[in-house]
Amino acid sequence: MNINDFDYTLPEQLIAAYPTQNRSDSRLLIGDPNCSLIKDSYFRDLTDFLQAGDLLIFNDTRVMPARLYAEKPTGGKVEILIERMLPNHQGVVHLGSNKPLKIGQILHLADGSTATIIGRKQRFFIMQFDADQLLLDRLQQIGHIPLPPYLKRQDEQTDLTRYQTVYARHEGSVAAPTAGLHFDQSLLDQLTAKQIDCAYLTLHVGAGTFMPVQVENIADHVMHYESFTINAETCAKINACKKRGGRVIAVGTTSLRCLESIAQQGALTPQSGETNLFIAPGFTFQIADALITNFHLPKSTLLMLVSAFVGLDFCKQLYAHAILAHYRFYSYGDGSLLIRKK
């Protein structure tokens, strides 16, 4: 398939620069390709479209304040985005600079410490940070929440909490699993009251999620790797749900990719690992029966995943409806509940 099959035109005013005042105030678009259903609702009414016995799978990763601002000895500005932390005070990073940076370059951080470029790994750099402090502790002190580039603004105090799910536990992401941003404690309590179960896995979202697809034939695209962990309790809940005929509902594309990655290996078992699974039309889903997700960028791998889940033609109908109905798009935008095409 060609990259242009996943293009659409979005009015810029529909890009949500900020979240709604309350998490569950977001709108919710219901889509079921099996009966051509497209229905408008609100996220606070999500339980109206779920059934007792359903199982929601959440990604409990926590966003790191992974963006650092640095200076060269000459005074030139450099932006550092931590993709992944490594042992020995090292990190895999993206670097933004007006001029090319070289191995051996020393950068000065806001707290007076230094970071040195010691290697390259494809489009990433390897940096050595001062050993007087753990890298995560340094990020907590001088790092910034790494808002997506399409928001076109600096992070603010409110982003510390709102660009984070209420159930975030395990630090390691540079981007939020945004489908989960709509859930507040009240909505989670409603799920419990309706006997809708919840389980958790961890997939640390990398900055590669924002990287554009740079090939015309999408079959040539290679996904970035992201690390994940799924425990025995979650595996048991999924297996029990399938056995009783319930629906497994992935909250976010990250949860779905993790589940389907494990399913590629056979039985669902507790494990940790990495995945670069690329889901596009033609993919056979084995675990997820429904997907809760936001609205994604044109020509993105996330839009390709949604197209695989509900069918490309139905996906185009959904997005055309969302634009016409003035839904809010992207990370801080509205959400959708999508049923898998059978």
pLDDT one-digit tens code per residue, 189-237: 999 999 999 999 999 998 777 777 889 999 999 898 899 999 999 999 9
Unique residue bearing structure tokens 């039309």: 281
Averaged pLDDT, 55-70: 97
Q: Whole-prediction pTM value?
A: 0.95
Between CA 125 and CA 83 the distance in angstroms is: 10
Averaged pLDDT, 5-26: 97
Question: Which structure tokens are listed for 289?
Answer: 């029966």
Question: Which structure tokens are listed for 283?
Answer: 């993919």
What are the boundaries of each domain within the chain?
Answer: 3-63+160-339, 67-144
Classify domain 67-144 at the CATH class level.
mainly beta
- In this predicted model, what pLDDT tens digit does every residue of 194-205 receive, in sequence order? 999 999 999 999
Residues of 278-305 as b/e, b for ≥16 C-beta within 10 angstroms? bbbbeeebebbbbbbbbbbbebbbbbbb
- In this predicted model, what pLDDT tens digit does every residue of 242-293 receive, in sequence order? 999 999 999 999 999 999 999 998 889 999 999 999 999 999 999 999 999 9
The sign of the torsion formed by the CA atoms of 174, 121, 224, 202 equals: negative
Does 67-144 match 3-63+160-339 at the fold level?
A: no
Helix (H, G, I), strand (E, B), or coil: what is residue 245?
coil
Between CA 342 and CA 211 the distance in angstroms is: 30
Considering the segment(s) 3-63+160-339 as one domain, its CATH architecture is: 3-Layer(aba) Sandwich (3.40)
